[in-house]
Amino acid sequence: MLVVVLMLRTISSLRERAKRGVTLIECMAAMAVASLGLGALMSVNSYQLRVVHATHDANIASLCIEERMEQMRIATWKQITDPLYLRSSFYAAGPKAGGALTNVSEKIIVNAYPDATIANPIVVEREDGNAPAIKGPGPEMAAQQSVRVDLYLSYDGVGGLRQNRQTSFVLSNGGVSRLTLPAFGAAASGTSTDLASASSSGSGSSGSSGSSGSSGFSGSSGSGGSGGSQSGSGTSTCIANTRGNVGGLIGIK
Amino acid sequence: MKFLLLPPNFPRAAAQRGFTQVEMFVSLAVLSILTAAMAVGAITIQRSFQASQSYTQKEADQMRLLDYLAVDLRNALTVQTDNATGTIQLALPDYYQTDGTPREPHIVHGMAYYGDPSQPVHVSYSRQNGMLVRQEGSKTTAVAKDVQDFNVAFRDEGQVIEVSVSFVPTFQNSGGGNRPGTTTICRTLLRNKRQS
């Protein structure tokens, strides 16, 4: 009984309050709360737009790095171990894919592979608006059999924060195979000599065609056969030897 | 409005006298402005979210298309591009057998061949019913859907193919020049194409 009376009183009180309406202060307080919610949504939206923009920039930067890697793959061994070529031709212009990026700087480091200590690296930098510069000549690099290439790209990201992309890959004079990459098995010195001779013909006749491609391929088909590599890698070795080198992607970050 | 400023012990009759017409107009005007601002803000946010979603989706389509093309271009023996229709046709070595297992190459005069060299695998990319499709023999794969506004252009540089893809972002007037910031370029070396 008591509960029923209390409920009736409460309902009656609410009815009276409902008839009274809301004061302007109550209304404004409600508006303020709603505005705060809307403001929070606005900030979330703004953050989301920044993320979209940053993602777009990151995609573009990856394509730029990829473009540089493709440039390296088409170059001959002589060219990729020549700092003058890297400065004057490789970095002659910014990456085509990078039109949407601002203040792009690039750097390439060519190290001997697998032992980077046996030769001084080639370092070439290109900063936005400045001419590319050779920071390390690496005169012994052309005599190496394999090199590790590190490509760096940085740009002004969202909010002016400097963003960096990097990739590394291995190029070998005569093609990457089990014989030139110790990680895939021990390199036999006799076969290395064969590869070197095969690749020297490839790099010597840079830009020439079927003949250099065939001679390069002869060397690599032998290496693929002896290494027992699968058909996929055999193909890439063949392709690479057409131009005297091959790239194997290690990673992008 | 006056009663808001009145002390609690103000006579009840005075507090219940109601609002004047001017007070009502002022309060209605204030409420209308606030409500309109909130409505506009809410709608704008919703549209912005939709635009962001659409942009992200299109960008993902763009990158997927470029990835598909790059993989095929790297293997391509020959490439034919047609910018008028946005079509590209490629001939690839027949790397795989019908059951999907890799085919062993055979070497002839230092050249590697897969399957019958006179019958390479033909792949084409074209636009069909608002989709960008990859056609390999009788097999059709939709690489990107709802991409009527995609503009795909090719530039054949012999050993390198440059592909540029752009789209019209939502809430932007369509037209040839209204694609700032959406153009993505991918340059791919044709590794299998013999240099001539």
Q: What is the pLDDT along chain A (253 residues), one digit of tens a residue?
A: 666 776 767 777 767 666 677 777 887 888 888 888 888 888 888 888 889 889 889 999 999 999 999 888 888 899 999 999 999 999 988 888 887 788 999 999 999 988 899 999 999 999 887 889 999 998 889 888 889 999 999 999 988 899 999 999 988 887 766 666 666 554 443 333 333 333 333 332 233 222 233 222 222 322 222 222 222 222 222 223 333 334 444 444 4
Domain encompassing residue B63? 58-189
Instruction: Establish if A48 touches chain B: CB-CB under 8 angstroms.
Output: yes
Asked whether the bond before B11 is cis by omega within 30 degrees of 0, the reply is no
Chain A residues 73-102 within an 8 A CB cutoff of chain B: 73-74, 96-97, 99-100
Give the one of A27, A49, A70 whose C-beta lies nearest to B31's C-beta: A27
| pLDDT score for A105 | 94
| pLDDT score for A178 | 63
DSSP chain A: -HHHHHHHHHHHHHHHHHHH---HHHHHHHHHHHHHHHHHHHHHHHHHHHHHHHHHHHHHHHHHHHHHHHHHHHS-HHHHT-HHHIIIIITSS--GGGGG-EEEEEEEEEEESS-GGGSPPEEEEE-TTS--EEEEE-TTGGG-SEEEEEEEEEEE-GGG-EEEEEEEEEEETT---TTT-GGGSPPPHHHHHHHHHHHHHHHHTTT--HHHHHHHHHHHHHHHHHHT--HHHHHHHHHHHHHT--EEEEEE-
Chain B residues 24-53 within an 8 A CB cutoff of chain A: 27, 31, 34, 38, 41-42, 45, 48-49, 52
Mutation site, A59, A71, A73, A80, interface B, largest B CB count within 10 A: A59
Is A209 within 8 Å of B184 when comparing Cβ atoms?
Answer: no
Q: What are phi and psi of B77, to 5 degrees?
A: -85, -40
| pLDDT score for A48 | 86
- Determine, yes or no, domain membership for B194: no
Is B162 within 8 Å of A96 when comparing Cβ atoms?
Answer: yes
Is B34 within 8 Å of A214 when comparing Cβ atoms?
Answer: no
State the smallest CA–CA distance between residue B180 and chain A in angstroms: 9
pLDDT digits (tens, 9 = 90+) for B89-125: 999 999 988 888 999 888 887 778 888 888 899 999 9
CA distance A73 to A93: 17
Chain A residues touching B188 at Cβ < 8 A: 70
Instruction: Establish if A12 touches chain B: CB-CB under 8 angstroms.
Output: no
CA nearest B64: which of A166, A59, A49?
Answer: A59
Q: What is the ipTM of this complex?
A: 0.73
Chain A residues 234-253 within an 8 A CB cutoff of chain B: 234-236, 238-240, 242-243
Type of residue at A11: I
Give the one of A49, A70, A238 whose C-beta lies nearest to B52's C-beta: A49
pTM check: above 0.90: no
- Determine, yes or no, domain membership for B91: yes
Chain A residues touching B52 at Cβ < 8 A: 45, 48-49, 52
CA distance B185 to A201: 34
**Count: domains in chain B:** 1
Residues of chain B with pLDDT under 70: 1-16, 171-180, 194-196
| pLDDT score for A165 | 92
Instruction: Establish if B108 touches chain A: CB-CB under 8 angstroms.
Output: no
Chain A residues 170-209 within an 8 A CB cutoff of chain B: 207-209
Instruction: Establish if B159 touches chain A: CB-CB under 8 angstroms.
Output: yes
| pLDDT score for B11 | 61
Is B52 within 8 Å of A52 when comparing Cβ atoms?
Answer: yes
Give the one of A31, A63, A231 whose C-beta lies nearest to B34's C-beta: A31
The residue extents of the domains of chain A are 48-252
Is B38 within 8 Å of A240 when comparing Cβ atoms?
Answer: no
| pLDDT score for A232 | 28
Chain B residues touching A209 at Cβ < 8 A: 194-196
Instruction: Establish if B181 touches chain A: CB-CB under 8 angstroms.
Output: yes
Instruction: Establish if B107 touches chain A: CB-CB under 8 angstroms.
Output: yes
